[in-house]
């Protein structure tokens, strides 16, 4: 390895975060959500870190098959279900559970006479308006699935749109739950309702299965900081200073010459850019740590480099340690500065940084 850009993945932190889920939902089983390559942390790494979870949830059937091939026997849930009837034999062979959210999926199941017994999670659209049957369509979908010999079990699920907002003016959690209860009336089946935000901010809602995602990786689902929720950062992205230069008042920095020095400044160049997963949208002022001291981004983010203000850090030198996010600098703070969310920064990490477990 030559380029000094390293993403440290903290397995102990991930295990700690899972323990927080257990504490918050002691009567529930846990789907550890490991979609999108474990939110950028590595699928196999996450499967090991979350071995004490009751199952894994993801969206990619190839990833689910890979976990089975590695020997993982826990339940695995496909959160978007299947996309083609050709996937059903694979699902049956590898004993995968899956969401059903559309008329087309039910029709494909109905056409597979004599198919193996399958484990279905029937999704209700309670206002998110992505996937699922609306409450007044839910009973009919449930009855059709119940009539199929190929269906071994049915669980009931929905997804909260605004769990991090205490009283959303348009669609509050209480309204989504009212719709869910109305649509699922009389159905005595296991429920899967709570994502990270619902789990942490609405403990009054009971789920037989909870589906934590972002909190397992040390990010906040909203409402409070990750630290306030008691979760620890699992990913720390680090680099080094590769150049230091002094510039005069009135000199510009970076592409477009957008940042102009208001006074003489000391500038550091960091080996990290948008090709590594650092957000190109990060503006001047985005926080960064240099040798543990907080400073700020100046100038436009380049493909391979960013520039930072060292004026108040006189001891900074070639090779000084940089933290772009993680230990000491919450990923959500960087994301907020860049106008995005911590989820995106985790998932956008490219293949270029060297990954090190610790």
Which DSSP letter does residue 121 get? E
The closest alpha carbon to 47, from 24, 31, 25, belongs to: 31
Fold match flag (11-219 vs 235-357):
no
Task: Give residue 2's pLDDT.
Answer: 85
Task: Give residue 116's pLDDT.
Answer: 82
Please spell the DSSP secondary structure of 166-212, one letter per residue: TT-SS--HHHHHHHHHHHTTT----EEEE-HHHHHH-TTS--SEE--
User: Is 303 assigned to a binding site?
Assistant: yes
Q: First and final CA of the chain: distance in angstroms?
A: 17
Query: For residue 273, how many C-alpha atoms fall within 13 Å in the half-sphere facing its CB?
Result: 15
Tokens describing residue 31 = 């789907």
Tell me whether residue 8 is one of the annotated catalytic residues.
no
**Where in the chain are the domains?**
11-219, 235-357
Task: Give residue 102's pLDDT.
Answer: 98
Domain 11-219 belongs to what topology? TIM Barrel (3.20.20)
Which one of the listed residues 94, 142, 255, 278 is annotated catalytic?
255
Q: Kindly report the backbone phi and psi dihedral angles of residue 204, in degrees, each rounded to the nearest multiple of 5, phi listed first.
A: -70, -15
Task: Give residue 169's pLDDT.
Answer: 75
d(CA 25, CA 28): 5
Q: Kindly report the backbone phi and psi dihedral angles of residue 289, in degrees, each rounded to the nearest multiple of 5, phi listed first.
A: -105, 130
Which residues does the chain have with pLDDT short of 50?
none
d(CA 35, CA 56): 9
Which one of the listed residues 8, 35, 56, 278 is annotated catalytic?
35
Q: Kindly report the backbone phi and psi dihedral angles of residue 304, in degrees, each rounded to the nearest multiple of 5, phi listed first.
A: -120, -5
Task: Give residue 153's pLDDT.
Answer: 97
Which DSSP letter does residue 124 get? B
User: Is 68 assigned to a binding site?
Assistant: no
Give the predicted TM-score (pTM) of the model: 0.95
Residue 285 φ/ψ region, left for φ over 0, alpha for ψ in the -120 to 50 degree band, beta for the rest: left
d(CA 144, CA 78): 20
Q: How large is the greatest C-alpha to C-alpha distance in the chain, in angstroms?
A: 77
Tell me whether residue 255 is one of the annotated catalytic residues.
yes
Task: Give residue 1's pLDDT.
Answer: 59
Give me the count of residues in the chain: 358
Pick the CATH number of 235-357 from 2.170.150.70, 2.40.37.10, 2.170.120.12, 3.30.200.20: 2.40.37.10
């Amino acid at each position: 390895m030559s380029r000094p850009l390293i993403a440290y993945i903290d397995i102990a932190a991930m295990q700690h975060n899972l323990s927080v889920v257990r504490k918050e939902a002691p009567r529930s089983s846990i789907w550890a959500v490991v979609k999108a390559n474990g939110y950028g942390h590595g699928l196999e790494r996450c499967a090991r870190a979350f071995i004490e979870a009751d199952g894994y949830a993801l969206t990619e059937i190839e990833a689910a098959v890979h976990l089975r091939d590695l020997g993982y026997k826990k339940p695995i849930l496909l959160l978007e279900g299947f996309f083609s009837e050709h996937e059903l034999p694979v699902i049956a062979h590898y004993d995968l559970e899956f969401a059903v959210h559309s008329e087309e999926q039910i029709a494909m199941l109905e056409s597979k006479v004599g198919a193996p017994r399958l484990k279905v999670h029937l999704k209700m659209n309670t206002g998110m308006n992505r996937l699922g049957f609306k409450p007044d369509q839910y009973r009919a979908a449930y009855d059709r699935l119940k009539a199929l010999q190929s269906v071994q079990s049915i669980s009931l699920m929905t997804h909260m749109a605004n769990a991090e907002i205490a009283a959303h003016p348009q669609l509050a959690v209480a309204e989504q739950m009212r719709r869910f209860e109305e649509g699922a009336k009389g159905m005595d089946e296991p429920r899967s309702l709570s994502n990270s935000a619902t789990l942490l901010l609405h403990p009054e809602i009971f789920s037989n299965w909870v589906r934590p995602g972002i909190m397992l990786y040390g990010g906040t689902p909203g409402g409070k900081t990750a630290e306030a929720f008691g979760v620890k950062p699992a990913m720390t992205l680090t680099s080094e200073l590769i150049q230091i230069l002094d510039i005069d008042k009135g000199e510009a920095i970076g592409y477009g010459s957008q940042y102009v020095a208001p006074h003489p400044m000391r500038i550091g160049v960091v080996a990290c850019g948008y090709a590594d997963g650092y957000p190109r949208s990060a503006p001047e002022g985005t926080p960064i740590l240099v040798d543990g001291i907080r400073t700020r981004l100046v100038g436009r983010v380049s493909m391979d480099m960013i520039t930072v203000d060292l004026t108040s850090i006189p001891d900074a030198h070639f090779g000084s340690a940089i933290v772009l996010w993680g230990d000491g600098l919450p990923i959500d703070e960087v994301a907020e500065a860049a106008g995005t969310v911590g989820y995106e920064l985790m998932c956008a990490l490219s293949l270029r940084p060297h990954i090190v477990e610790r």
